[in-house]
Amino acid sequence: MSSVSSAAQSFRSSAHGSWDPERIRPDFPMLKRTVRGHPLVYLDNAATALKPQAVIDAVVEYYTHFSANVARGVHTTSQEATERYESVRVRAAGYLNVDSSEIVFTAGTTASLNLVASSFGSDALRPGDEILVSELEHHSNLVPWQLSAERTGALVRAIPMLDSGDLDLEWLERELSSRTKIVAVCHASNVLGTVVPIDRVSEMAHRVGAKVVVDGAQAAPHFSVDVRALDCDFYALSAHKLFGPTGLGVLFGKRALLERMSPWQGGGGMISSVEIARSSYAASPARFEAGTPAVAEVFGLGGALEYLATWDRLAATDHESALADAAIAGLESIPGVKVFGESASRVGVVAFALDGVHAHDVGTALDAGGVAVRAGHHCAQPLMRRLGVVATARASFAPYNTLRDVEALVAGVERARTLFGR
């Protein structure tokens, strides 16, 4: 049986049939594109998801009808824009099952994690304290903690990854101590797709008084996230991975922690009173939203969240998982292909390598057939070293992807193997 047929068989045996990607594909204008004479097969969703027309319309609506600054204007359009802006904060809070006073808008997951590392980290850390991060982390949940450690004299240590791609929770439980102040982990790996049991991490960390900071950028687009149930202290996500606009992030922080944290940036909107020598600051979340915010992008996030509310999220997640399983089956049937990660709990992200061929060459060969994947170290160089590679190719799935997309991926990798004589 060919690898493409194997992929199809795997998909049909694992798919539940309750999610029809063809129903939503017309909502995404980019899917009408052709690339190098081929219909676009977009499998780079972990980098950024495509935008439905509802999001595009929401951004255009702001610029067409509500184009005013928020929070400080007394005229009608400013008041209307502010009302809509704050309604999205409430909707984002509902998406995570938290209170709207615990939601801070930032420029993205990277900005959110830097905010926490700079503000909370600087306040909480002392020389000799430990920050535990995992080998799975994106650089955005590692480098900010390195910077915080340099400022405070704290130490950064790695939570090991098991060969399966899962976090070594036994090591974590054994090594947690009174020195541990922060545990920073992803909810889902952007390379292996591994889903980390945040509720268990939180329970272990809180026993020793440590705070848990979660990079949720890869988890929030794939399944419903109940931050209250996870009991983490901070949770960050990016709008653009959640089918919304670029340049916007959502940061959850427990209210008691946000109220104690120092401002991250200074400027308009985050103050209570300003004198030449000193200032007093607004309450959270305004304290962390200095300057003109990304108003149009917040409108777009509102459009994305409204649109997502029309989906059966469980069915969509099952569909993505079935596609990933089919892709793994197809890729592993190709001689010389290695798929990384074997966790039983993972989102629709598949990282792979073709023996003797650089990931960039694999990605370029796939692009020739209109298949868009990510190739490189995925901003996760420590994880690449743990896997023993310099780079991988990565296919990542969304609810609008189809079995045809999987077949195009597998056929493209087969062509790449032939092209490079492997």
The residues annotated as belonging to the active site are 379
> How far from 226 is each of 37, 229, 407, CA to CA, in Å?
43, 5, 34
Q: What is the rounded CA–CA span in Å between residue 195 and residue 371?
A: 26
Report how far residue 387's alpha carbon sits from residue 373's, in angstroms, rounded to the nearest whole number: 19
Which residue is associated with the tokens 């255009």?
Answer: 60
Q: What span, in angstroms and rounded, lies between the C-alpha atoms of 373 and 153?
A: 40
Instruction: List helix spans (H) across 75-197.
Output: 76-96, 109-115, 121-124, 143-152, 169-175
H or E element in which residue 360 lies = helix 359-367
The Cα–Cα gap between 45 and 56 comes to: 17
How far apart CA 142 and CA 196 sit, in angstroms, is 16
Contact 240, 262 (CB under 8 A): no
Burial 322-344 (b: 16+ CB within 10 A, else e): bbbbbbbbbbebbeebbbbbebe
User: Pairing between strand 349-354 and 337-340?
Assistant: antiparallel
Residues with Cβ within 8 Å of residue 13, at least 6 apart in sequence: none
25 CB-near residues (< 8 Å, 6+ apart): 31, 400, 402
- In whole angstroms, what separates CA 403 from the centre of its chain? 24
